[in-house]
C-alpha cells in the first residue's frame, strides 16, 4: 500500500516538495535547490509535520555540505540556520544532529558528501518504515466500527509517507476495519481541512470535516470512540506537545472517558526534558489568524495571540503509539525503559 503522491522526493540533486500551503485548491511542487530553500520551506510551511520537517532538514544539511565542503564553520552555521526555522518539533534537531554526526564520523573521507546524501535518503526511507510499524502497533487499539477523531494532519503529508496518527487510521482501514473519521479543521493553518481531508478523500476513508469547536459535543454525546493525533515533541514524563487545540480535546476526552492516543516515532521523544513545560511554544504571525488565504477575517488593528502548539499533560494521554510498541502509563518509567533498549 503506497500513497499516490510523495510528500518529498529527492531527484537530480533537488528536493521536490508538495507545496502544502496551496492544498487542496492547487497541487504544486516546490523545488528546493539549496539549504536556504530548505530553511524557507520549513519556516513558511511549504512542508510541515514533525517527521516531514526532519527528513526535509536532512537534505538541507546535505545541501549545506555541498555548498560549504571547504568551510566547516559555514557548514555548521548553515545547519544552525536550518534548525532555527521552527522551534517546537524535536525531529528537526534530531535529523540535523544525526546528519552532523554522520559528517563528523566521515569528514576525512573523500566520499563524505555521498555518505550524507545517503544518510538523508535513509532518514526519509526509515520514516516510512517507522510509520508502517506505528500503524501496525496501533491496529489493535482501533475497535471494529470505531468512530475516530483526529486533529491537525499527522498523515503522509506530515511525514516522509504513510503518516503517524493518520497512518494508524489507514492501517485500520486497509485491514478491513469499518471506521469513520472526524477531522478537526485545525485553525489557524487548517491542516485538518486542507491536508487531512485531502488525504482522507484520496484514500476514500468515510469521514467528515468539523470546525474545531464541534469536537467537544461529539465526544460528550458518545459519538467518538477514540482520538488519535500526532506529536511534535514528547517529554520523558509523557507530556505531549502537539498542534494547538490538542490540550483542550484531551480534557474533554478525560472527562468523558474517551481514549486519547498520540502516535509518533521515537525520534519525537526529547530525552533531554523532563516535562512539557520545558518545550518552547512557537508563536506564529498574527496575520495567520487575521486572514484565511486572501480573505480578511478580522480588523487589521486587532491584536492576535497565535501559539502554534500546546502541551497535553501525560495524565490526559491514554497511550503513545510508537514504532517500538505502545507506551502506556506510567510514562516516566516506560519511556526510560524504552530509552535503555535503543
Q: So which residues are the catalytic ones?
A: 232
Asked if 279 is part of the footprint of a second copy (rule: CB under 8 A), the reply reads: no
**Residue with smaller CB distance to a second copy, 140 or 295:** 295
Asked if 178 is part of the footprint of a second copy (rule: CB under 8 A), the reply reads: no
DSSP 175: T
Q: Are strands 233-234 and 240-243 parallel, antiparallel or unpaired?
A: antiparallel
Part in contact with a second copy (CB under 8 A); list of ranges 78-86, 140-148, 226-234, 287-295: 287-295
Provide the β-strand partners of residue 226: 148
Please identify which residue in 3, 39, 127, 212 interacts with a second copy, judged by CB under 8 A. 212
Asked if 215 is part of the footprint of a second copy (rule: CB under 8 A), the reply reads: yes
Tell me the C-alpha distance between 163 and 135, whole Å. Answer: 8
Tell me the C-alpha distance between 10 and 331, whole Å. Answer: 37
Asked if 233 is part of the footprint of a second copy (rule: CB under 8 A), the reply reads: no
Tell me the C-alpha distance between 146 and 134, whole Å. Answer: 18
Considering the complex, what minimum distance in angstroms separates the CB of residue 33 from a second copy?
30
Contact between 262 and 320 (Cβ < 8 Å): yes
Q: What is the DSSP string of 103-172?
A: HHHHTTSTTHHHHHHHHHHHHHHHHHHHHHHHHHHHGGGS-TT-EEEE-S--BGGGSSSSBSHHHHHHHH
Asked if 153 is part of the footprint of a second copy (rule: CB under 8 A), the reply reads: no
Asked if 302 is part of the footprint of a second copy (rule: CB under 8 A), the reply reads: yes
Part in contact with a second copy (CB under 8 A); list of ranges 35-43, 100-108, 265-273, 296-304: 296-304
**Residue with smaller CB distance to a second copy, 60 or 276:** 276
Angle between the N-to-C axes of helices 90-106 and 72-83, in degrees from 0 to 180, rounded to the nearest 10: 160
Please identify which residue in 37, 232, 270, 310 interacts with a second copy, judged by CB under 8 A. 310
For the record, the C-alpha cell of 314 comes out as 501525560
Asked if 185 is part of the footprint of a second copy (rule: CB under 8 A), the reply reads: yes
Q: Interface residues for a second copy in 33-92 (CB under 8 A)?
A: none
Asked if 12 is part of the footprint of a second copy (rule: CB under 8 A), the reply reads: no
Considering the complex, what minimum distance in angstroms separates the CB of residue 249 from a second copy?
8
Q: Are strands 309-312 and 240-243 parallel, antiparallel or unpaired?
A: antiparallel
Tell me the C-alpha distance between 111 and 118, whole Å. Answer: 11
Asked if 216 is part of the footprint of a second copy (rule: CB under 8 A), the reply reads: yes
Asked if 173 is part of the footprint of a second copy (rule: CB under 8 A), the reply reads: no
Part in contact with a second copy (CB under 8 A); list of ranges 33-41, 98-106, 142-150, 201-209: 201-209
For the record, the C-alpha cell of 295 comes out as 480573505
Q: Is the peptide bond before 330 cis (omega within 30 degrees of 0)?
A: yes
Residues at the interface with a second copy (CB under 8 A): 24-25, 182-183, 185-188, 190, 193-194, 197-198, 200-201, 207-217, 220, 244-245, 247-248, 251-252, 255, 289-290, 292-299, 301-307, 310-311
Amino acid at each position: 500500500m503506497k500513497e499516490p503522491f510523495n510528500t518529498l522526493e529527492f531527484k537530480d540533486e533537488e528536493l521536490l516538495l508538495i507545496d502544502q500551503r496551496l492544498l487542496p485548491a492547487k497541487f504544486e511542487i516546490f523545488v528546493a535547490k539549496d539549504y536556504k530553500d530548505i530553511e524557507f520551506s520549513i519556516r513558511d510551511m511549504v512542508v510541515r509535520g514533525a517527521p516531514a520537517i526532519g527528513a526535509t532538514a536532512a537534505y538541507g544539511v546535505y545541501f549545506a555540505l555541498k555548498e560549504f565542503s571547504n568551510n566547516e564553520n559555514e557548514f555548521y552555521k548553515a545547519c544552525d540556520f536550518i534548525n532555527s526555522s521552527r522551534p517546537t518539533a524535536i525531529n528537526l534537531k534530531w535529523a540535523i544532529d544525526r546528519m552532523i554526526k554522520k559528517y563528523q564520523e566521515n569528514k576525512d573521507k573523500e566520499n563524505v558528501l555521498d555518505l550524507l546524501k545517503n544518510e538523508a535518503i535513509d532518514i526519509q526511507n526509515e520514516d516510512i518504515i517507522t510509520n508502517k510499524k506505528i500503524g501496525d502497533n496501533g491496529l489493535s487499539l482501533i475497535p471494529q466500527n470505531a468512530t475516530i477523531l483526529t486533529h491537525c494532519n499527522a498523515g503522509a503529508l506530515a511525514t516522509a509517507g504513510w503518516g503517524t496518527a493518520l497512518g494508524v487510521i489507514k492501517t485500520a482501514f486497509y485491514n478491513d476495519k469499518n471506521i469513520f473519521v472526524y477531522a478537526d479543521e485545525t485553525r489557524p493553518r487548517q491542516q485538518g481541512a486542507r491536508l487531512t481531508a485531502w488525504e482522507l478523500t484520496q484514500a476514500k476513508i468515510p469521514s467528515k470535516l468539523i470546525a474545531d469547536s464541534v469536537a467537544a459535543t461529539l465526544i460528550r454525546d458518545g459519538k467518538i470512540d477514540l482520538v488519535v493525533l500526532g506529536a511534535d515533541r514528547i517529554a520523558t514524563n509523557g507530556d505531549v506537545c502537539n498542534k494547538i487545540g490538542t490540550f483542550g480535546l484531551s480534557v474533554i476526552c478525560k472527562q468523558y472517558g474517551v481514549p486519547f492516543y498520540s502516535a509518533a516515532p521515537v525520534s519525537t521523544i526529547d530525552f533531554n526534558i523532563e516535562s512539557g513545560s520545558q518545550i518552547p511554544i512557537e508563536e506564529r504571525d498574527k496575520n495567520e489568524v487575521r486572514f484565511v488565504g486572501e480573505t480578511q477575517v478580522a480588523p487589521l488593528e486587532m491584536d492576535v495571540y497565535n501559539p502554534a502548539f500546546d502541551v497535553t499533560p501525560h495524565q490526559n494521554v491514554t497511550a503513545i503509539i510508537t514504532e517500538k510498541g505502545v507506551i502506556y502509563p506510567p510514562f516516566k518509567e516506560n519511556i526510560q525503559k524504552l530509552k535503555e533498549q535503543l
